[in-house]
Structure 1
């Protein structure tokens, strides 16, 4: 995620940290940051596009993620702390566009992220209407980067790529207006898989406090629908590690079908070499 100056972002949205945003360390979690970014996008008003769609001049569609990424750069304090999400548009294509975000608290940059979106019709992605392109152009970041991140290769969607699996069942509370598991809830599934791995790696039941090593960054790609009802598995492998951090590869599976993958980086803590190798 390219570091763009605060003055480049045309839209600012204010939030206050809530209890649901906090991690076990008492500060806002990486998933909490992802929730703020999603809420900031929900509040954006795209006036030309809204009038065009209200007139019924566009075929039925769903707003779908192609990918998103988010990271926590610094701890954000307790409940009630004021944060600001600054939003702009990095890239505009014919069938997709990409938001860019920066999160600030007390004048310090504490998070960032991106999200690439398509309008999905019955036959696949739809060409963006001119009215939407005009709205997005008004939000274009003056310092935006034009090159999209490469999508993971087909090998990432194979079950045998992953060495650990965590079964999960979709809950009705996970489902959004598109009848899919919400993107923030799905990110939480990846967090669950990392937590389960670290608990197994360090060991539990020996009187020590359970490890708290959630990733501080995610890059997520979507390739299928995660819906309710449904039973799923999150696959996890360790890609690399050093003295301070661990890089994970993750995938969400329904049987042998991979519905999306993620790359995550988090703290190493007490994770032993034997569990990471």
Structure 2
């Protein structure tokens, strides 16, 4: 993720969300801490899945996916009180899982990257193939470039 040049370009992403930072997000050095980065990425991912392009068609409810893996690369220090813009695109689509690729930007600089692997599931049987309607929505949100 760190070596893919597209990941540091906001234009490569399908959507974005600007979030405020909080005083409690700072570490002892006055920079955004690792929990703050995780929160910013989580908030963006959840809003996308529940209310955005990744939400089930025709209703605004939780998608039937679970988080299988999250990886964050910290690239630069983030600062309070400046807002952070988190961009989001789909990096990979498999048979039953997909990767949400995100980047955090502050004052024009890419300060962190995040990949979240989400697994589609059937409530009764567990992991299940991604349905065609969801796959179509995900394809439209692929990382560009």
In 2: Cα distance, 1:154 partner to 1:189 partner: 22
Say which SS state the counterpart of residue 219 (structure 1) adopts.
strand
Contact 1:218 1:264 (C-alpha < 8 Å) held by counterparts: yes
Alignment partner for residue 246 of structure 1, among 90, 98, 117?
Answer: 98
Say which SS state the counterpart of residue 67 (structure 2) adopts.
coil
Within-5 A mapping of 1:121-160? 151-160=2-11
Say which SS state the counterpart of residue 216 (structure 1) adopts.
strand
In 2: Cα distance, 1:193 partner to 1:230 partner: 17
Scaled by the length of structure 2, the TM-score of the pair is 0.74
Alignment partner for residue 266 of structure 1, among 118, 127, 133?
Answer: 118
Residue in 1 aligned with 2:12? 161
Describe the superposition over 1:117-147 as per-residue Cα deviations: whole angstroms up to 9, x where unpaired. xxxxxxxxxxxxxxxxxxxxxxxxxxxxxxx
Residue in 2 aligned with 1:147? none
The 3 A distance-change label for structure 1 pair 183 and 189 is: same
Q: CA deviation at 1:180?
A: 1.4
Q: Kindly name which structure, 1 or 2, has the bigger radius of gyration based on alpha carbons.
A: 1
In 2: Cα distance, 1:231 partner to 1:183 partner: 16
Say which SS state the counterpart of residue 248 (structure 1) adopts.
strand
Describe the superposition over 1:150-190 as per-residue Cα deviations: whole angstroms up to 9, x where unpaired. 84233311111211111111011111112111102211211
Measured on the aligned residues, the alpha-carbon RMSD in Å equals 2.4
Runs of 4+ in 1 over 4 A off after TM superposition: none
Return 5+ residue gaps in structure 1 as ranges.
Answer: 1-149
Equivalent residues, number: 127
Scaled by the length of structure 1, the TM-score of the pair is 0.41
Residues 1:227 and 2:89 are matched in the alignment? no
Contact 2:20 2:83 (C-alpha < 8 Å) held by counterparts: yes
Return 5+ residue gaps in structure 2 as ranges.
Answer: 122-130, 140-145
Q: CA deviation at 1:226?
A: 1.1
